[in-house]
Structure 1
Amino acid sequence: MRRLTTAALTAGAFVGAGLAASAVRHRRITARREHLPGDTPFGSVRSTGHTVIAADGTPLHVEVEEPAAGDRRGPTIVFVHGWMCDQDTWHFQRLALRGRARMVFIDQRGHGASGATTAENSSLAHLADDLARVIAEHGRGRVVLVGHSMGGMAIMQLAADHPQLFGGTVVGVVLVGTSAGKLMRGKPVLERLGGVVRAAGPVLDWGRSFNSTSLVRRWAVGPDADPRAVAMCDEMIARAPTRLLVDFYPNFPSLDLFEALRTLADVPVTVLCGTDDLLTPAKHSRRLAEAIEGARLVLVPGAGHMVMLEQPEPVDAAVTALVDRLR
């Protein structure tokens, strides 16, 4: 996908934003905090933390939300975020379902509060094995998996590597803004520049910390996105280390998870995508829904790739509907 490559390479352009750093940062923080009465500030929703140790020793940060006392009929919902993000991706879903369902939130390896990774241990197979370990340690009974972008790919890789989980422990799946393959055309440019980007990582991180709003507005959200949603995405993506761009990028040019979709057909599946998603366009979600027998397709008009922050209500409703169906 040339668009994804272009978006990744654009990260270096943020270095020149230093002159406007103070004003930009103030504007971003102000926008983020202009919540309606009763809203919870972005990044402040936390719960009991745990550490799961991956097969290669990488520590994975996991947080568990327990349901209200006596409400333990439903499955555990495990949320898996995407590339360059963290568990704050699910800010609104966490609030909407808090007290109503048991939830587990993962910071994928290299992201958020989880341990750092390298190019050698940043494959989808690593992510799938991490997910299997989190399910084993914190799943507690039946599990519904909710994955966005690379998180959805990790779920599909899990179906390829551990098909016995689906229809047994895993009883439902929600795939948000993701793809099983045919994402990119052309040569993997970012792979060839990987060494340069890694070496310049600290400088690029510095530049991105000042202002990544223009990139976020262009690639992450729809054209009419609320500035607050832009600010939330900006804050989350800006704190991800630049090296993650090249460490995880090799997963995408050769992505082919179509065989795993037959395993997903063993459980109820909802596929959701914004109609203005430029990174994993809606045609990929349509392809998934067609390939997974019985899957439900939900398209959110005007939403971009970060639909769960931009238009949270349809995402909340999709997850809630599937979980209620399984109670």
Structure 2
Amino acid sequence: MSKSARIVTTAGAFVAAGTVATLLNGRVRSGRRRRRGEDVEFGSVRSDGVTVVAGDGVPLHVEVDEADRKTPTIVFLHGWVENIDVWHYQRLALRGTVRMVFVDLRSHGRSGRASSKRSTFADLADDTVSVTEQLVPRGPIILVGHSMGGMAIMQLAGTRPELFGGRVKGVVLLGTSSGRLMRSSPGLRYLIPLLRAGTPLLDWGRRFNSYSVIRRWGLGPGAAERHVDMANEMILEAPTYVLMDFYPNFVGLDLAAGLEAIGRARTTVVGGTADLLTPVKHARRLATAIPGAELVVLDDVGHMLMFEEHEAVTKVIEDVVDGVREEMA
């Protein structure tokens, strides 16, 4: 057999093996989805979408859940490779009790794609301003951010400190960090070789045994199968370019400049002791650096704490809402 024929044969075997593995993974995922036993199907909690055009022209998909009490408005900002479905439990629990705005960050979910040069935390902070100016033109605001969403809030505080204690009356920071993350996050270090590869195989590789990878790095050791599966389903919807375009933000991360301003708003920081992506020491550091911030530590909980301990996370948000309302009374 010639060298070229061997290459073709090997490539064909690789593709065939990959196809079989993908089909098997698809069947396993379907089986897990059936076993969830959900009262409300994950991904089905929706309201009419609104498009907010960012300053650089990127269309942002936003959904608003109205309520009888119009103030305060909670603006939810999800994390890297997530989308608004990450707030599944909080959205169900709080619906009708408070006005809520859910943003698909640029290049995520149903929002339009940004260029790699416009995939920065500064852009995310500007997008937050665009959303609030259009959809929350008056009244107090509570910002809730997970991981990269929390970093967008810290970036906003650094560039627009006057908003905090003014329009922004409350902040909830979930599983996030203001800096020195690369040295202490085994999950991000695990990701580096994949990003450096940058080949067409990366998309296929993300889907191959992704459930086990996400269970290991994204959730705590006792996480329920349905919560791992929900995270897996959501994260696989994010194209690989989202990983590639936003990754540089985490190298040399330093958002300390905005922490004092955040302290002008009622703030709670939440971290999980089993979080391998943003280890709990980052939550402790944030709570110390933000004046007056409250710290909530969730034992044996990983990065996807909105799933794993959804009732506790919802309670934190409710407490901040109640506190803001008391201040308004």
Amino acid at match of 2:30: I
Contact 2:266–2:324 (CA under 8 A) maintained in structure 1: no
Counterpart of 2:161 in structure 1 is 163
Normalised TM-score (structure 2): 0.87
Residue 32 of structure 1 and its aligned partner are, at CA, apart by 3.0
Residue 17 of structure 1 and its aligned partner are, at CA, apart by 5.6
Structure 2 counterparts to residues 48-67 of structure 1, below 5 A: 48-67=48-67
Secondary structure of 1:116's match?
coil
Structure 2 counterparts to residues 311-326 of structure 1, below 5 A: 311-326=309-324
Residue 141 of structure 1 and its aligned partner are, at CA, apart by 1.5
Counterpart of 1:78 in structure 2 is 75
Choose from 94, 105, 108 the match for 2:105.
Answer: 108
Structure 2 counterparts to residues 231-310 of structure 1, below 5 A: 231-310=229-308
Counterpart of 2:5 in structure 1 is none
Partners of 1:115 and 1:191 in 2: how far apart? 25
Partners of 1:28 and 1:301 in 2: how far apart? 28
User: Deviation string for 1:148-189 (max 9, x for gaps)?
Assistant: 000000000000111111111111000000000011139x99
Pairing 1:126–2:86 present: no
Contact 1:209–1:239 (CA under 8 A) maintained in structure 2: no
Secondary structure of 2:278's match?
coil
Normalised TM-score (structure 1): 0.88
Larger radius of gyration: 2
Pairing 1:23–2:21 present: no
Higher relative contact order (CA 8 A, sep 6+): 1
Pairing 1:95–2:92 present: yes
Partners of 1:58 and 1:113 in 2: how far apart? 11
Residue 224 of structure 1 and its aligned partner are, at CA, apart by 1.1
User: Deviation string for 1:91-124 (max 9, x for gaps)?
Assistant: 1000010111100000000100011122211010
Partners of 2:277 and 2:192 in 1: how far apart? 18
Unaligned ranges ≥5, structure 2: 1-15
Residue 280 of structure 1 and its aligned partner are, at CA, apart by 0.2
Contact 1:18–1:210 (CA under 8 A) maintained in structure 2: no
Partners of 1:274 and 1:254 in 2: how far apart? 23
Residue 28 of structure 1 and its aligned partner are, at CA, apart by 2.1
Amino acid at match of 1:258: A
User: Deviation string for 1:213-241 (max 9, x for gaps)?
Assistant: 11101110001110000000000001101
Contact 1:177–1:280 (CA under 8 A) maintained in structure 2: yes
Secondary structure of 2:108's match?
coil
Secondary structure of 2:244's match?
helix
Partners of 1:29 and 1:136 in 2: how far apart? 41
Q: Check 1:51–1:178 CA distance in 2 against 1; reply closer, same or farther (3 A cut).
A: same
How many correspondences in the alignment? 306
Partners of 2:301 and 2:313 in 1: how far apart? 11
